[in-house]
Amino acid sequence: MTMSGLARIQRDFQEFLLRQAPGIVDHVAGTERVPISTRLGIYSGGYRSRLVEALQTNYPALSRLIGERDFAQLASEYIAAHDSRHFSIRYYGDALAECLATDVRYRPVPLLAELAQWEWTMTEVFDAADAAPIGIAALAHKAPDDWAALRFVFHPSVRVLSLAWNAPQIWKALIEENEKPQARLGREPTSWLLWRRELQELYRPLTLPEEDALATARAGDSFGDVCEATCRHFSEDEAPAHAAAFLRTWIEAGLITAVA
């Protein structure tokens, strides 16, 4: 068999798995005991089962919240609309939150999309590259005149997610198999900081002043710019102390890996 012939068979087999295209039938031999449809059905069913398992692995809380049958239906609809684009099945399901937010059947329950967004972000946090955090001693030798120009490199796992619903609390209860709190819509969206320290995923809510300071620092701006961002929430005299307190908190939490 030539390479072009093999490539054609691989393409036809992929099209059968993804869209039930019939081209692969010409390349498969059947018997009276095991016809072609049965042989192909084994691969087709197995492939889709693995994708459903991948979605259940990446979205365990969502699966428990809506129930096994409804999640299987959701997974089937998602698989029909979204091909697996990565070599690793670990990354399948990245568009599920968007699907839940836009599909007319799920859009009336926005908590589902936010819970999926939270779970996928947690996956990103866990899979992010590692880097050694600095300690507070890394700033000890900095001269006072240098502080305004300092810039910070953040750990690759750091994420900030804005949520309107109490999805993190519901996620925690479902994962720990505790009593689930009632779904609750906040008066204002809450921003959550997520990161990983060694193998532990961590998260906490952010106040608006810290959120603005963190966004400024993560954008690569200087500590002087962070102080200016903090001035939007505190007086000019108070802002530097608050900015320094934010910085200390980030360092102690392991969020910062370098200072330039």
User: Is 170 within the bounds of a domain?
Assistant: yes
Instruction: Kindly report the CATH number assigned to the domain that includes residue 207.
Output: 3.90.930.50
Query: For the chain, what is the domain count?
Result: 1
pTM of the model: 0.84
User: Is 1 within the bounds of a domain?
Assistant: no
Q: How far apart are CA 71 and CA 196, in angstroms?
A: 28
The confidence score (pLDDT) of residue 6 equals 61
* Overall average pLDDT of the 116-136 stretch: 96
The confidence score (pLDDT) of residue 141 equals 86
Contacts of 238 (CB under 8 A, 6+ apart): none
Q: Is the pLDDT of residue 14 over 80?
A: no
- Model pLDDT for residues 135-194, shown as the tens digit of each residue: 999 998 888 889 999 999 999 999 999 999 999 999 999 999 999 999 999 999 999 999
User: Is 21 within the bounds of a domain?
Assistant: no
* Total residues found in the chain within this entry: 260
Q: CB burial class (10 A; 0-12, 13-18, 19+) of residue 59? A: buried
User: Is 71 within the bounds of a domain?
Assistant: no
Host domain of residue 221: 128-260
Can you say whether residue 38 is alpha, beta or left, with left for phi > 0 and alpha for psi between -120 and 50 degrees? alpha
- Binning the chain into helix, strand and coil, the percentages to the nearest 5 are 55, 15, 30
Q: Is the pLDDT of residue 22 over 60?
A: no
* Overall average pLDDT of the 3-11 stretch: 62
User: Is 16 within the bounds of a domain?
Assistant: no
User: Is 51 within the bounds of a domain?
Assistant: no
Q: Is the pLDDT of residue 25 over 70?
A: no
User: Is 49 within the bounds of a domain?
Assistant: no
User: Is 222 within the bounds of a domain?
Assistant: yes
